[in-house]
Amino acid sequence: MSLLHPTRRQVLAGILATSAPAALASPFFTPSAALAQDKAKLSVAWNTGAICGAPVAAAKASGIFDKNNLDVEFINFAGSTEQMLESIATGKADVGIGMALRWLKPLEQGFDVKIIAGLHAGCLRLLSTRDSGVTKLEDLKGKVVAVSDLASPSKHFFAIQLAKLGLDPENDIDWRVYPGELLGAVVERGEAQAIAHWDPLTYQFLKSDKFIELGSNMEGEYANRACCIVGVRQALLNEQQQAIQALLRSLFEAQKLSVEHPQVAAEAYQPFSPNTPIEDLIAQISYHGHGHYPSGNALKEELAQFTADLKNIGVIRNRTDPAKFAEQIYAEVNI
């Protein structure tokens, strides 16, 4: 047995043991006491194909949800952002997890969903091929960039970066939509000169010697800005405050677990990506900024910064005040 690499069972035993001493000290504790309590039931919608959601899987597989007296059902949601937000607002799902740069525009349109936390940084990448002649963002002027859709967070993010460099992201760049699995092929064929997308696809493309990375949201100020966020409808915050507090504690603990023991998070996530080698999952989880999970004023500031960025490229309305908008869509959950 390696002392440097504890087994998954050892790690999980340590996690679950953290709450044991206080319980055992109680004169009313019995082995079945925890089971006697009714667990709060919550449904969490997220795209299980997104590797950045590995800590969410780890929260369930590791027993963190159980420890916090939660019975969590996962809803694999691969539909549009508007459909997910409507599902949360109408109670078809209790909680949703998605990318901030995809959620902010629909939230501006008035969905009854509040943001309560950020979960990680990173996972968006801009790639080109070695023989394309494109080696930096400025080289993309007049070029074709392949994206999965025109409202994708990767398209928004790199449009923001191009605008900061003085380019007009709508007129200087030709954004073309292709199915995600074809993004690599269209660049290899020369139909596009770059790909703006996210892991795990971009990670897989980078494993080939044909591709180089031009940029990512793990650089500069964005390495400390939430990429994915957690949303819940206001009514549920009022009705099940303790359950939402427990959920947020669980998600934060799972983020910490993923930083300290990425192999545990990778093993928990692998059932959602059975054809990916465990080493690749560990590498991606280690790369993504899972140590960054803001709430409170820090998150409101990040939401305001993203809003200002999106406003600068014409996605958010000119009349929207970033700070007021961030205050409007955020809800405090004390944990």
Judge contact between 317 and 108, C-beta under 8 A. yes
What is the band of 269 on the pLDDT scale with cuts at 50, 70, 90? very high
Window from 13-22, 52-61, 225-234 with minimum mean pLDDT: 13-22
**CATH 3.40.190.10-classified regions of the chain:** 39-121+225-329, 124-216
What is the band of 29 on the pLDDT scale with cuts at 50, 70, 90? very low
Window from 4-8, 66-70, 131-135, 193-197 with minimum mean pLDDT: 4-8
What is the average per-residue pLDDT within 164-186?
95
What is the average per-residue pLDDT within 265-286?
95
Res 11 pLDDT > 70? no
CATH number of the 39-121+225-329 domain: 3.40.190.10
Window from 14-18, 80-84, 271-275 with minimum mean pLDDT: 14-18
- Nearest 5°: the CA angle 88, 57, 230 is 35
What is the band of 30 on the pLDDT scale with cuts at 50, 70, 90? very low
- Cis peptide bond N-terminal to 200, omega within 30: yes
Q: Is this model's pTM higher than 0.85 or not?
A: yes
End-to-end CA distance of the chain: 37
Distance separating alpha carbons of residues 60 and 77, to the nearest angstrom: 17
Res 292 pLDDT > 70? yes
- What is the CATH superfamily name and number for domain 124-216? Periplasmic binding protein-like II (3.40.190.10)
Residue with tokens 């990375």: 213
What is the average per-residue pLDDT within 146-164?
96
What is the average per-residue pLDDT within 218-241?
94
Res 96 pLDDT > 80? yes
The full length of the chain comes to 335
pLDDT digits (tens, 9 = 90+) for 32-86: 344 446 899 999 999 988 899 999 999 999 999 999 999 999 999 877 888 899 9
SS3 for 221-254, per residue?
HHHHCCCEEEEECHHHHHHCHHHHHHHHHHHHHH
Res 15 pLDDT > 70? no
What is the average per-residue pLDDT within 20-28?
38
What value does the mean pLDDT of the chain take? 89
